[in-house]
Amino acid sequence: MTVLSLDLGPRLSNQNLYRAHTGDTICLQRCPELKGIQINLTCTNPVGEEIVLRQDADRAYFTLSSGGPYRVTWHIVVNPLPLNWTSVSMVTILADPVLTSTNSGPSLTIDQIAAQSHLTKCCGQVQRWEDVFRVSAESGYNTIHLTPVQELGISKSSYSLHSHHKISSSLNLNSGGGYEEDLEMLSRHLQDIHNKTGLFFLTDVVWNHVSICNREILSHPESYYNLYNTPNLIPAYLIDRSIHEFGNTQDNITDVQDLSSFEIKLRNHLLGTAQTLEKLYKIDLNKVLDVKKSTEASLCESQLNKKDINDLIKALWLVNYKEPEYAGDIDVGILRKFLEQRGVTSEPDQNSKISAAICHFNDVEVPTIVDQILNKVISAVMGTVKYRFLDEHGPKLSFGNVPIVDRYFHVSDITFTEELALDIYRKEDAQRIKTCNGWTAGESVSDMNSTMAYTNREVVIWGDSVKLRYGDRREDSPWLWDYMTKYTCDMASLFHGFRIDNCHNTPLHVGEELLRAARHVQPQLYIVAELFTGSEERDCEIINRMGINSCIRELSQSHSPRHLGELIYHYGESKPCGSFIHNIPHGDVVHQPGDENIPLGDQTCTEDNTPQLSLGSSRPHAMLMDQTHDNPCPFDQHPLPNVLALSGLMCAAKCSIGSNRGYDELVPHHIHVVEEERLYQGWSQSDDEDLKPAKKALIKLHQRLEDKGYSETFVDQAREDVVIVTRHHPDTCIKVLVVVATSWSEDSSLTSSYTVSLPGENVKVMLETEILSRQTSPKHTNNKDYIIGLSGVKIDVRENPLSSKMVTVSKPDEGNLDIDLLLTPGCVIAVEVEPPQSSKTALQYFNSYILCPEKFDKDLDKVFSTLDLLDLNYVLYRCNEEERVDGCGGVYHIPHHGNLTYAGIVGFLQVLETVTKNNDTGHPLCRNLCEGWWMADYTVNRLKKKNLKLGFFLEEIFFAVEAVPNYTRPKVFYKIISSVYSACLRQIRKLIPTMKTSVGNSWFVEQLVLTSVQLVGKVGDTGIPVLPQDKESVASLAAGLPHFSHGFMRCWGRDTFIALPGLLIKTGRLDVARDLVVGFARTLRYGLIPNLLSERGHRPRYNCRDAVWWWCRSVKLLYKHQPSILQESVYRLFYKDDSPVSPQTPFVCTVFDVITEVLQRHAAGITFREENAGRELDEHLLDPGFNMTAGVDPETGFIRGGSRHNCGTWMDKVGSSSQAGNKGIPATPRDGSAIELVAMGYQTVSWMAELFESGIGTTSVVNMKTGSTHKTVSYREWSEMIKENFEDKFWCSGGYYGNANGYYRDTLGSESGGDEKLRPNQTFAMVIAPELFKPSHMSEALKTIGTNLAGLVGMSTLSPEDADYQPYYDTGNHGNDYRTAHGFNYHQGPEWVWCMGFYLRAKLRDFQHLKKDNPDCMSDDEIGQYFATVLAPHRAMIASDPYRGLTELTNKGGQHCPNSCPTQAWSSGCLLEFLVELEQSEFSGS
C-alpha cells in the first residue's frame, strides 16, 4: 500500500511528480490540518472516469488498475475558508504501465524497456520487417520504436504526414481494401512479429501538423492556423513577406563584408514594414473615448497595483492587441475605475488623463515595441543566413537556389503578385495564408494567441507542414478533434506505446483528451516524449497533464566526462544506495507528527501489517538513450571508443533505455529523417563488426540488474575520464560496479590502471567489453540501397569470463578488497561484489529479527513493560539543559547540522522524519552514521547511565548489526529507533487512560497527551519542595522547553496550575498532579502561592496574585477524581509570614486547611514587601513595585490587589529599556479586580460553601475587612455577593473603541487605567464561572472577541483598535519606541496560544446555549466543523515543530515569533482540556 498525504496549499500541484506502479493500492491520508475537516474527495482514472473510493474517517483508498494519470481532487467544505487555505487542491499520481504480451510471453515494466528506434520508411515492405527487427532482437532489445507508419508528404520527412488516415503504400500491405483493411493487415504483421520475437512496438504520434499536400484539411480552415482565426499572426506574416521580397533581390554572400552589407540593406528594407506595424499597434483614441463607460468593468488586483495609468494601458494592450482589430480594444471602463480609485472622478478629467496616456503610448511605447521586434527579427535572419551561406560547418548554399530563410507561412497556392495584393483583413484572403509548424526551445508555441515567437522569428520551421488549430474546446474545431481522435485510437490499437512528436508544443488539453481516448483502447499504453522546455517544473506539468511515463534524455549530447556522470546521476539514479524508501514492514503503526499511520519516516504498515510506502515527489522518469534517431551522427562529437562508453553508462542506469539503429551499426553519417531513402539491412545481411554484440551483453546486464532487484544506484566520478555506476541490492547489499572509461580524446591508444578499494569478498566479473581496433582506421563503403556502418571494427565481449584480462583482485586485509582495473579507452567492465561475511551475518540478523515484528517488537514490549512515564520522559525527550543539569553531557551534536532538540529518541526521529521523507541519504545525520556508530553508542550509554533495561537491550541489538555496510547504517539505525518509538507509544497508551478512550484515538489529542510525557520529568535542581527524608527530587512540570527547563525557571506557580488540569488530570496522571498540588501548598505564605521557586522551594518569590487561584482551581478539579486530596498532609515551610524556612517543618495541615487559609487571608487583606527586595531580586522593577497587596472588595466580594507599579497576573511584563524610557514600568499592571481572578475567587468560595453544606469542614465563614473593621461573611454570602455584582460592574456595552459591540471589562478599579481594554482574559472567566455571565451578553462578547482577538493559533492580547496594540514581539528590539523596546509589548498584541483553549471552551458553551434556545440555528456537524477548522493550524504546528509541541505565542496572524518558547505547557494543556470537553459534547461527531 502506498500512502499519499493530502495537504493544503501548493505543495501538491502539477509541478510535483508522484509515481506509482500499476496494481498499487493508494491510501489518501489527510494531513494534520485536514483531520476532522469535511472535504469532498474525488478521483478520476486515466480515461477520465470517476473512481468510487473506499473511505473511512481520515483516509480513502483506490487501486491503480491501469497505467496513466490518476487525478485526485479535494474540495474543503468550510465557509468561510481560513486564511491561506486553498478551497480546491489537486494532485496527479502517475501509474507506470506494464507492457503485457498477448502470447503469454514476459511482460515489461518501464525500467525493463530497451528500445531501438527505426525510420519506418527505411524498414521497407512489411514482408521484410521480421528480418529487419530480428537484428534488434538479437542485439538484446525488447522494444521497437517506429516513426509514423502513415503516408508521407511531399518532403518525405518521417514526420510530415500526407494523411493521418492512410497507411504508407511503401509498406506494401496488399490488404485489397482501404484504410481500415490496411490497419487490420498491419496489426496482424506486428502481432506475428511480437509472437515470434517477443518485441513490443512504439510509434510516434503527430498531432500538431499535417503536410501541406493534405487536401482534407484545406476544406476545414478552422482546423489550421491562418490570419483569419489568429490575427495576431498578421505582423509575423507581414515581416515574413517583406523578408522574402527582399531576399529575391539580393546577390550571393561570399564573405563577412557581404554579410554586413546584407544586414544594412535588410534593416532599411524592413523600415516600411515597421511603419505598418506601428499603425497596427497604435490605439485609436477616438474609438476608445467613444465607448460608453462600462458598468461591468472591474479591476483585478494586478491592474489595481499598476504604478500609473501608463503602465495599465501597456498591460491592457499586451492582452488586447491579439484581437482582429487592434485599435480601440482597450476597455475605457477599466481605465475610468482605475482613475476613480486614485481620486479622479469627473469624466472630463478622466478623458484628459486617458488621452494623454494613450498619446504617450502611441508616440513612445509603440515605436519602442516595434524596434525591439525588428532587432530580434534581424538577429534571427542574420544567424540563419550566416549558417546557410558562410559558416565553415554550414551547407554553404548559393543564392537563387534556396530562399535566404524558410518561410513561416504557406503561400504556395498564391502567386507572388497576388500575394502582394492580398487584403489580409478579408476572411477569404486571410484563410489562404496557412501557418507552418516548427520547433522552439523553451517557449511553447502551443498557444498561438499569446506567443510572439513567430513575430520574432524564433521558430525553426518545418517547411511543408501546416500547424493545426484545435481551439480551446472540441466545438472550436470539431472536424479536427474527430479526425485526430480516430487516428490516435487507431495507433493505440496497433502499438503498445507512443512517442509524442513535438510534445512541448502540443496544447495540454489536446494531449490530455487524445491520450484518454487512446487509453480506452490500450489501458497499458506507454508514453514517452522529448521535452525542451528548459524547466523541470514545466516538464512536470506536461508530464502530469498528459500522463507521460518517460522523458527521453540523450547521452551523446554530453560535452565532457563529468557532464556525462551528471546526466547518469540526474536521470539514471532511481534511489540512492542505502535508501530509506524501501518497502519493509513495520510491526506497529508508528505515529508520526504529521501522519497518523506513518512514523517519523516513510515506511510503516497498517494494523494488519500490510506494508506501506509513503509516496514522495520524484524526478521525471527517463528513457535514457545513448543517441536519439533525429540527431546528427555520434562521430561528429565523439571518438569511436566513446560510442561504446556511452552505451555502457546507459545500460548501467536504472530506467528505460534506448538507442537507434544507425548508432548500433556504427553508421558514420546522419540517417536523416527527411533525406534518407535507403533501407536497413535484415538479419540475413548483418554482420558483427559493430556494436550489436556489445549492446546485447550490455542490455542483458541492464535486464539482470532490474530483474534481480538492484534498485539502488550510486554514481561516482572516479577520475576525470572514469565514471563508476554502482547498482546496489537493498536486502543483500551485493553490489554491481559498472566501470566505464570514457574517451573524449582522438588518441585512443592509451591504457591506464585504476584501483577500487572497498569492503567485500567473492568478486565476480560479469562483463568486459572493449574496442580492439582502436589503432586502425575503420572503413566505410557507401551503398545505394542499404544503410551500412563502419567495417573493420573489432569489439571484444567477454561475459562471465573464467579469467579476466582487465580485473585483478587482492585482499589487503580481512573483509576488504582492492580491485585493480586495466582500462582501455571506451571499455566497460561490470563486477559483482558480495559484502564481507561479517556484514552478511549482520544483515541476516537485521532482516530476520529487526524487520520481523513478531520477534523484535514483542521483545521490545517486554522491555518497556518495566518502564513508567518518568522513564519514558527520559527515553523520548529531555532537552540540552535538562541533560546538563543532571550531568549527562547534553544532547547529541551532528557535525554540519547542529544540536538535536532532545537527547532522547524523538531528537533523532525529528531529524529522520525529514531525512526519510526526502530520502536524503546525503544529510549530515546520515554522513555521521556512515562514519561511525556514535549515535548508537550515545543512545545506549545514556540509557545505561540510568540503569534502564532498554539500554542493555539496545546494546545487544546495535552490537549485532554493527558490521552492516556503512552506507546502510542510517536505514538500520532508523528502523531500530523508530521501532523503539513505536514501543514507547504502546507503553504510553497502556499507562495513560486518555489514550485508550475514544478521544484518545484522535491523532491531535494523542500528540497533546505526549506533551505531558515531554514536559513532566525529574530534574535535579527543580524547585519543587520535598521532605527532608526524600533522597531525590519529585517530578515537576516544566513551563516550557527549552526556555524553562531547569532551576527556578522550570516550575512557575501560575504556569503549573494553568497547565495541570489538561496535562495531568485529563491524562489520568493524578499522582503527579497530587504531588504538585501538595508541593506548592507547602510554600503558602502571605496567603499566596509563589510564582517562582528555587532551592527546593526555600527561596520562593511571591510576586503574583493569581497563582494561588489557579492552584485552588486545580485542587477543585482534582477533587472530582481524587477526593482524598483535601486530606493530604501538607508540611509547611513557613510557620509564619515572616519566619524563615523551617527544615523540621513543625507546622502540618491539610490541603483543605490551605484553601481555608487562602480565603481568610484574602478576606482580611494582604500587605507585604517582597523579601530581599532590590536589584538582586529584580534588576528592572522600581522600588514601589516590591510592595504587594491583595484582598477583597467588601462591597462586591471581588478579589482585588496590586498597583500600577507591579504585575500580579499572567500579563507580567516589566520594561527594561532605559533608552526607550520603559525600564521598571509594568506594561500591563492589571491592578484592581482582574476578571479571571474574580471568577476563580467566586468558583473557590462557591465550592467551599458546597463542601461545608455536604458536611466537609468545620467553618464556612471568613472575617472580611471592611474599612477599619471586620465583618463575618459566609462562603455562600460571599459567592452571592460576587454573582450579584458581576454583570453590572464588568459588562461594557461598547463605545470604548468607537463601536457598539459589547464585551466584558478586563479589570475593575485599575489605577493604571486599563479597565475597558479588550483582552482575552474574560474568556477564562466564562469557562471557570459561566454562571456569572448573562448568556446573551456572553454570546455578544464572544462575537466581539472572535472578530478582534482571535488569531490563527492564539488570541491577540489586545484589540487591534487600541493605541497600545503592537503585535510583533522582539526582545532584541533596542530601539527608542517606548511601546516595543526590549519586548515591552509582550502582552500588547502578540497572540498567545493557551488563551485559545479557553476561548474555544467558551465558544462551545455558547453554541450549547444557542442550540438550546434555537435547535435549528446550526447543525451539530457544522459546529464540529467550525472547531476542526479552527484547530487545523494547531495540528500543523505540533506536526512540524522540532520540539513537538505548541508554542508559547506567535506574532500577528500566526506568524512565527523567534522569541517564543517552542513547546509550552499551558498551550498544550488548555487545548487538551478543550478537546476532551468537545469529545464529551454533542458536537464531537462521534
Q: Cite the active site residues.
A: 501, 504, 630
Instruction: Check: CB of residue 3 under 8 Å from CB of residue 594.
Output: no
Phi and psi at 430, nearest 5°, equal -60, -35
DSSP, residue by residue, 22-79: TTPEEEEEE-GGGTT--EEEEEE-TTSPBPPPEE-SSEEEEE--SSEEEEEEEEE--S
* Range 361-366 contact pairs with CB under 8 angstroms and sequence separation of 24 or more: 361/283, 361/310, 361/313, 361/314, 361/317, 362/282, 362/283, 362/285, 365/314, 365/317, 366/278, 366/281, 366/282
Instruction: Name, in order, each residue with C-beta under 8 angstroms of 261's C-beta and a sequence gap of 6 or more.
Output: none
Instruction: Name, in order, each residue with C-beta under 8 angstroms of 955's C-beta and a sequence gap of 6 or more.
Output: 940, 944
Which has the closest alpha carbon to 556: 653, 622, 629? 629
Alpha-carbon span 1473 to 1399, nearest angstrom: 12
Instruction: Check: CB of residue 149 under 8 Å from CB of residue 168.
Output: yes
Which has the closest alpha carbon to 915: 611, 589, 573, 580? 580
Which has the closest alpha carbon to 72: 5, 1, 21, 22? 5
Instruction: Check: CB of residue 1064 under 8 Å from CB of residue 1070.
Output: yes
Q: Hey, which residues does 830 pair with through a beta bridge?
A: 738, 767
Instruction: Name, in order, each residue with C-beta under 8 angstroms of 373's C-beta and a sequence gap of 6 or more.
Output: 235, 239, 277, 452, 455, 456
Instruction: Check: CB of residue 1162 under 8 Å from CB of residue 1189.
Output: no
Sign of CA dihedral 1440, 1443, 1446, 1447: negative
Instruction: Check: CB of residue 1054 under 8 Å from CB of residue 1106.
Output: yes
Instruction: Check: CB of residue 179 under 8 Å from CB of residue 168.
Output: no
**What are 1349's three cell numbers?**
482577538
Query: In residues, how long is the chain?
Result: 1486
Residue type, 847: N
Residue type, 1028: P
User: Which burial class, exposed, middle or buried, applies to 1258 when counting CB atoms under 10 A from its CB (0-12, 13-18, 19+)?
Assistant: exposed
User: Which burial class, exposed, middle or buried, applies to 169 when counting CB atoms under 10 A from its CB (0-12, 13-18, 19+)?
Assistant: exposed
Q: Hey, which residues does 898 pair with through a beta bridge?
A: 894
Which residue's entry shows cell 525488447? 142
Instruction: Name, in order, each residue with C-beta under 8 angstroms of 1486's C-beta and a sequence gap of 6 or more.
Output: 998, 1479
Please state the separation of Cα 1225 from the chain's center in Å: 46
Alpha-carbon span 1222 to 1213, nearest angstrom: 11
Alpha-carbon span 1396 to 1474, nearest angstrom: 9
Distance, first Cα to last Cα, the chain: 27
**What are 662's three cell numbers?**
544507425
Q: Hey, which residues does 659 pair with through a beta bridge?
A: 116
**What are 1443's three cell numbers?**
520540539
Instruction: Check: CB of residue 48 under 8 Å from CB of residue 545.
Output: no
